[in-house]
Amino acid sequence: MTLNIAIIGGGIGGLTAAIALRQKDFSVTLFEQAAKIGEVGAGLQISVNAVRVLNALGLNPQNWPCSKPKSVTLHDYKHGRIVAKVAMNSTADVPYLQFHRADLIENLMQAAIKAGVSLKLGTQVSNITDKAEVADQSFDLVIGADGVRSTIRDQFYDAEKPRFTGQIAWRALVSSNDLPRSFSQNTHVYMGPNKHLVMYPLRDGKLINIVAVEERNTWTDEGWNHAGNADELRHLFSGWCGNVTTLLDAVKDPIVWGLFAHPTLHSWIKNRLVLLGDSAHPMVPFVAQGACMAIEDAWVLADQLAKNADISVALQAYQAIRKPRATKVQETALKSGRIYHTANPLVRGLLHTGMRLSAQMAPAVMAGHYDWIYDHDVTAG
Ligand SMILES: Cc1cc2nc3c(=O)[nH]c(=O)nc-3n(C[C@H](O)[C@H](O)[C@H](O)COP(=O)(O)OP(=O)(O)OC[C@H]3O[C@@H](n4cnc5c(N)ncnc54)[C@H](O)[C@@H]3O)c2cc1C
């Protein structure tokens, strides 16, 4: 049966779902509040589990502007001493990629247009019902892909209030022209008391992306794009090793994002309304999986709608497949932030020694810590 489907939200999840659904011959209208793609959002790591989906959709994302990291190196903050180094992209046939969010969105949007999705840009939807009506238009199904601050989730689901995790993420992009030529083009994580900083290249090394996380007692708002103060960021990380200082010296316009933990939703389905991506399972960024989970959701939802003539059966199957995995990733992400930030020097020393020994004596174990995330292939089902 050809369903007429509305998607609210043209982020990573909404656009991927639109492409996947069009490939199954469903009719798709996507509503996005932004009038055009901005440079908002900085870097996104897209791991093999999500790249597999984009490949299965025929998109070949490795041909889009991106970087392909050779390794991730963990360092102690003060002298930059290496705690562990894990090789990446050395053998895998499916690559692990790093994108500027704007490049990923732009390419997904072009693919959606090519696939025949009806795009309604500059359209903020406020009037929907769980009978699949959007602004007085009737559909067979509405997909809520409206992100971490989903109003659809607030309006239709029994969502408990999110809890501030006590952590703030600073995000910034630095042009490689503003750095010494010898500056590393690999992925590095620096771990210190109550803070950590991740740096990785984007657009084939033309930009270096920074995510710096600090702990704070209070924060008021969740979401993108609060302007931060570059001097405050530098002050927070003063006394950190040379690589961090050199990079932060070149930061001009950081943005700050308060990190919130969202209690798991009881259900993602409300009659003819279903959630996908951050609106269903927002997560803190410590395993870099929010967008990847949205991409996996998109594939499974389109697949189940194509396999089941009864929409309710398809939605139940989608939820049964996706909810346990997304919830486990959500919980894992929440725990991971704390490990990086151990303040007690003795405990930190022990943890770092453990990581160093694991990397030397059992590199496969160290590298394989998140295999259950990366090896998963939703396209195989
Ligand atoms: C610091 C940080 C680093 C991160 N790093 C990574 C990473 O490396 N890898 C990774 O996988 N994830 C990462 N994430 C998470 C990732 O950004 C999100 O999980 C991902 O963007 C979720 O995709 P989505 O499509 O669900 O929502 P979004 O991408 O947020 O898209 C939602 C869309 O809905 C639109 N919208 C909202 N309301 C309406 C409305 N009423 N009408 C019309 N449109 C509407 C918005 O404009 C937006 O375009 C990170 C997050 C943070 C904070």
Residue 361 has pLDDT above 60, yes or no: no
Say if residues 144 and 152 touch (Cβ distance below 8 Å): yes
The per-residue pLDDT for range 26-71, each reduced to its tens digit, is 999 999 999 876 656 689 999 999 999 999 999 999 999 999 988 8
Residue 302 has pLDDT above 50, yes or no: yes
The per-residue pLDDT for range 226-263, each reduced to its tens digit, is 889 999 999 999 999 999 999 999 999 999 988 888 99
pLDDT at 158: 82
pLDDT at 185: 83
Locate the ligand 1 atom nearest the alpha carbon of residue 211 and give its number: 1
DSSP annotation of 160 reads P
Q: How confident is the model at residue 289 (pLDDT cuts 50, 70, 90)?
A: very high
User: Which residue has tokens 């659809």?
Assistant: 152
The tokens for 88 are 């990446």
3-state SS of 154-179 is HHHCCCCCCEEEEEEEEEEEEEHHHC
Q: How far apart are CA 125 and CA 373, in angstroms?
A: 33
pLDDT at 234: 97
Segment 157-169 shows an average pLDDT of: 87
Ligand 1 center from residue 208 Cα (angstroms): 20
| Test site for ligand 1: of 40, 44, 108, 195, most ligand atoms within 8 A of the Cβ | 44
Enclosing H/E stretch for 304: helix 290-307
Whole-prediction pTM: 0.93
Q: How far apart are CA 72 and CA 83, in angstroms?
A: 11
The overall average pLDDT reported for the chain is: 89
Segment 299-304 shows an average pLDDT of: 98
**Closest-CA residue to 110 (of 28, 9, 37):** 37
The per-residue pLDDT for range 197-206, each reduced to its tens digit, is 999 999 989 9
